[in-house]
Amino acid sequence: MAQFWKPGADKPRILEDEDGGVVFVSAALSSAPTSGFGYANIDKQRQRLPIYKYRNAILYLVETHATTIIVGETGSGKTTQIPQFLKEAGWAEGGRVIACTQPRRLAVQAVASRVAEELGVRLGEDVGYTIRFEDLTTSDVTKIKFLTDGVLIREMMEDPLLTKYSVIMVDEAHERSISTDVVLGLLKKIQRRRPELRLIISSATIEAKSMAAFFLDRKGRQRVETHESGPSKEPAILSVEGRGFNVRIHYVVEAVADYVQAAVSTVLAINDQEPAGDILVFLTGEDDIGVAVSLLTEEAQANGNKSSGLIVFPLYSGLPRAEQDLVFSPTPRGKRKVIISTNIAETSLTLEGIVYVVDSGFSKQRFYNPISDIENLVVAPISKASARQRAGRAGRVRPGKCYRLYTEEHFINEMSAEGIPEIQRSNLVSCVIQIKALGIDNILGFGWLASPAPETMIRALEVLYSLGVLDDDAKLTSPVGFQVAEIPLEPMISKMILSSNQLGCSEEIITIAAILSLQSIWVSSRGAYKELDEAKMRFAAAEGDHVTFLNVYQGFLESGKSSQWCHKNFVNYHAMKKAVEIREQLRRIALRLGITLKSCERDTEVVRKAVTAGFFANACRLDVYSHNGMYKTIRGSQEVHIHPSSVLFRVNPKWVIYHSIVLTDRQYMRNVMTIDPSWLTDVAPHFYQHQ
DNA sequence: GAGCACTGC
C-alpha cells in the first residue's frame, strides 16, 4: 500500500521562498519500484507520473493553506492524480465532494473517464462529471466531480457557498477564459465565508505569482493573525516538473515578409534535412491554411521523390468532423505527416507524433469595441506564453525542434509575456447577468483578476436594462430578469424565448434559438458557393433567415433525420443532430420556467415579433438614397449591409433586424429578418420612444 | 457578391 501524508503526521520538507510564498523543494521519492518489463498495472502507471513524488507535499499544503497554487507542466499528471490523492486523504468523507474544473467540455469528459477507470468505478457513480446539458453524477454517491468552470458558476446560483465541496481545483487557470476569471473572483469571496474550503489553482509559471497575490487577501490576512486556528490564508506555490522533452528553438535571422510562404519553405526544408517525425504548422485561419495546403500539395506532387513523402492535412474547428479526424490517422511508413492548423492544436487537441513545430507567431484574436458594440477578429502577434505552448507541442514523444518564423529580437522585445485576458476583449452581457444573478450588485467593484474596461461593463448594463432584465437600480427584475439568467443562452435569445410564451409560438422560437446557438447549419462550401446558394433557395423564406431555419428543421424532421437528405441539400448533418439535442434541452428548461409549449402553425408574424422582442436593439432601416443596399442601424446610425450568405441578400427589405455583425471590409449583418417597424415600439417602447 | 481563431452556460 502506497504511503501518503495524513493530517497529524510530520510535515514533509518545505522551504519558504524569499517572497513569502511556500515552495516545496524536494519530495521524498516514492519507493515504488519501477520495472522495465511486463505489464504495468494502473497503480504502477500512476506511480510513474511526476506528480506522484509530490503527493505528501500537496496533501500537506492543502491541509495547511486555504489556497495552493500548483505550477505543473504538461504531462505531470496533476489533473487526474490530485483529486485521487485528496480522496485517499479523506477529503471526500462525510458526504463532501472534491471538484475539479476545466475550461472545455471534452477535457471534462476525458479526464473523468480516465479517473473512473483508474479507480475501477463506473463513470457517474464515485467519479462523475457535469457539463452543460449533461449531468453524469449521482448525489450522495459521487465523490470526485469534474465540471466546466461555467457549470460551477451556474451551481452557485443554487448554492452560493458551494457547501457540498471540500476542495475545488481550478485547472488550466492560466488560459484565463472569461469563466475561469469569474470563478476565481467568486471563489475568493466564498473563501471568506467558508474558511474550511480549500482551493487548488493550477497555473503556468508566469501567472503563479499574480495568482498568489490575488488570493492573498489583505483583510483575510489580518484576521488570521488574531485567530491562529484554521489554514493559512497565505497561498502556497508548488512547482511540479512535467514530462515534456527538450525542444530546440530556431529563429529566423531576418523578419519574413510572408509567413505563409515562409512556413511552406520551412516545411520543405525540414523534410529535406531532418530525420523522420511529423510537422505541425501554426497559421491563423482557414484562408492561410488553404493556401499553405495547396502550395505544399503541389510541391509534393511536382517534386517527384523529393517531397513526395509529405501527407498534408488542414485542421481548424470549422472543418467537417470526418476531415478533422484524418489528422489522427497513423502516418504510413516512410511518409511524413504535415498538419497545418489554427490555435485549435495549441490547447484543445493533442496530436501524437509531432517532432517539429513551425510557428508563424500570429493568431486570430477577438477584440471588442464597447462604443460600436462590435466584436471582431484580428490577426495579431501571439504572446510569449503562447509561443512556448506551441513549441511544447514538439516535445511530447521525443526531443523536438521549433522553427519560429520571427526573429529572436522580436520574441524578446516585441511579444508580450502573456496575452490580454479574454474578459478584456469581449462583450460582457452574458457575464454581467450571471454575476448579477449571484446577488453581486457592484459589478465595477467585483474583485476581478483583471478588470474589464468600464465602458464594456456600462454597455452590458445598458443592454440588460433595455431588455427589462435589470431595473433602475441595476438589480435583476422579477420574474423576467431571473428567468433570463436561468436560461443558459445569450440574454437576447433568452428574452426571445420568454416572449414567445405570450405570443404562442414557443415551439418555433425554441427551434430558432437552438439553431442560432450553432455555428452554421450549412456545410462549409469552399469554392462551391453556387451549389450551396441553390440549395439554400429551396428553403428560403421571404421573411428572412430565421424563418428559413424553421423550413430546414422541418425538412430534416420529415426526412426522418436522414444524413443523405442533409448531404443532398448542403445541410450540415452533425449540426442538425446537435440542434435536435439542444432543442430538447431547451424544451425542458422552458417547461421548468412555466412556458407553455405551443406552435403558431406557420403564422410567421408572431415568430418575428418574438425574435424582435429579444433583438429590437439590432433594428436597421434601408437607406433609400443609396442604391447599393446600405442600411443604417436605428440605435447608432452605423452603416451596415446584409451579408451575402443571407437569403435576404439583394432583396433589401426596408426594415430588418439582425442577429450579429461581422466586420470585414464592411460591416455585414448575419441572420437577418424582415420586421414591421411598429413592432419596435410595441416590444420596446422604452427603447424606441423617440423614434 | 463573400466569410467565420477558440471556447462556454
Give nearest nucleotide to A345 (CA–C1').
Answer: B6
User: Cα(A480)–Cα(A476) distance, rounded to whole angstroms?
Assistant: 8
Query: What is the spatial distance, in angstroms and rounded to an integer, between the CA atom of A10 and the C1' atom of B6?
Result: 46
Distance A312 CA to B2 C1' (A): 27
For the segment A616-629, what is each residue's pLDDT rounded down to a tens digit?
999 999 998 877 88
Has residue A189 got a pLDDT over 90? yes
Q: Which of A207-221, A256-270, A314-328 has the lowest mean pLDDT?
A: A207-221
Q: Provide, in whole angstroms, the distance separating residue A487's CA from nucleotide B9's C1'.
A: 8
Q: Give the residue nearest to nucleotide B1 (CA to C1').
A: A644
Reply yes or no on whether the pLDDT at A62 is more than 50. yes
Residue nearest to nucleotide B5 (CA to C1'): A364
Gap from A161 CA to B5 C1', Å:
35
Q: Quote the cell numbers at residue A170.
A: 481550478
Query: What DSSP character marks residue A401?
Result: E
Neighbours of A188 (CB within 10 A): 18
- pLDDT band at A303; cut points 50, 70, 90: low
Residues facing A631 on adjacent strands = A622, A640
Q: Which nucleotide is nearest to A377 (CA to C1')?
A: B5
The DSSP letter of residue A628 is S
Length A302 CA → B7 C1' (Å): 40
Please report, rounded to a whole number, the percentage of residues in chain A having pLDDT higher than 90. Answer: 55
CA A565/CA A558 separation, integer angstroms: 10
* Nearest DNA or RNA nucleotide to A107 (CA to C1'): B7
Contact status, residue A148 vs residue A129, Cβ threshold 8 Å:
no
Å between A346 CA and B6 C1'? 10
Nearest CA among A236, A101, A115 for reference residue A172: A101
Residue–nucleotide distance: A290 CA to B2 C1' (Å): 16
Interatomic separation, CA of residue A175 and C1' of nucleotide B8, rounded (Å): 13
Please give the pLDDT value at position A37.
43
| Nucleotide closest to residue A286 (CA–C1') | B4
Is residue A358 a contact partner of residue A282, using CB atoms and an 8 Å limit? yes
Q: Nearest protein residue to B8's C1' (by CA)?
A: A150
A545 CA – B3 C1', rounded, Å: 17
pLDDT in tens, A668-687: 899 999 999 999 999 988 88
Task: Let me know: does A129 contact A136? Beta carbons within 8 Å.
Answer: yes
Say whether pLDDT at A234 is over 50. yes
Residue A465 CA, nucleotide B9 C1', distance (Å): 21
Pick the residue with more confidence: A433 or A40? Answer: A433
pLDDT at position A33 over 70: no
Instruction: Give the bases of strand B that a protein CB approaches within 7 Å.
Output: 1-9
Contact A53, A72 (CB under 8 A): no
**What integer best gives the mean pLDDT of chain A?**
86
Query: Mind listing the pLDDT tens digit for each residue in A451-491?
Result: 999 999 998 999 999 999 999 999 999 999 999 998 989 99
Q: What is the pLDDT of residue A18?
A: 36
pLDDT at A333 over 70: yes
What pTM value is reported for the model? 0.86
Where residue A298 falls among pLDDT bands split at 50, 70, 90? confident
Question: What is the pLDDT at residue A26?
Answer: 35
Give the nucleotide nearest to A646 (CA→C1'): B2
- For the segment A522-546, the average pLDDT, to the nearest whole number, is 82
Q: Closest residue to B7 by CA to C1' distance?
A: A104
Take residue A177 and report the three cell numbers written for it. 477564459
A35 band by pLDDT with thresholds 50, 70 and 90: very low
Name the nt closest to A319 by C-alpha to C1'.
B4
d(CA A504, CA A597): 8
Q: Which whole number is the average pLDDT over A106-111?
A: 89
What is the C-alpha to C-alpha distance for residues A256 and A609, in angstroms, rounded to an integer? 53
Among the residue ranges A33-47, A145-159, A242-256, A475-489, the one predicted with the least confidence is: A33-47
A529 nearest nucleotide via C1' and CA: B2
Q: What is the dihedral of CA A644, A645, A648, A654, to 10 degrees?
A: -50
Nearest in space to A130 (alpha carbons), one of A93, A162, A105: A105
Measured CA A520 to C1' B4 distance, in angstroms: 9
Instruction: Please report which helix (H) or strand (E) contains residue A97, including its range.
Output: strand A97-102
Distance between the alpha carbon (CA) of A103 and the C1' atom of B6, Å: 11
CA A178 to C1' B7, in angstroms, rounded, equals 10
User: Is residue A139 over pLDDT 50?
Assistant: yes
pLDDT at A601 over 50: yes
Tell me how far apart the alpha carbons of residues A593 and A467 are, in angstroms, rounded to a whole number: 18
CA of residue A220 to C1' of nucleotide B1, angstroms: 61
Residue A36 reports pLDDT greater than 80: no
- Identify the DSSP state of A51: G
> Which nt sits closest to A663, CA to C1'?
B3
Nearest nt to the A430 alpha carbon by C1'? B9
pLDDT value of residue A397: 85
Closest residue, by C-alpha, to the C1' of B6:
A344
pLDDT tens digits, residue range A72-108? 877 788 899 999 999 999 999 999 999 999 999 888 9
**d(CA A488, C1' B5) / Å:** 23
User: What pLDDT is recorded for position A16?
Assistant: 42
Checking each nucleotide's C1' against the CA of A130, the nearest proves to be: B9
Q: How many angstroms separate the Cα of A163 from the Cα of each of A68, A86, A92?
A: 19, 17, 13
Protein residue closest to B9, using CA and C1' = A488
Whether the predicted pLDDT of A29 surpasses 50 = no
Give yes or no for a contact between A466 and A687, defined as CB atoms under 8 angstroms apart. yes
Which positions ≥6 away from A274 have C-beta within 8 Å?
A: A356, A401
What average pLDDT does range A397-408 have in this prediction?
93
Query: Do the Cβ atoms of A95 and A225 come closer than 8 Å?
Result: no
DSSP E strands in A260-301: the ranges are 278-282
Nucleotide whose C1' lies closest to the alpha carbon of residue A177: B7
Residue A390: predicted pLDDT: 93
Q: Does residue A15 carry a pLDDT above 50?
A: no
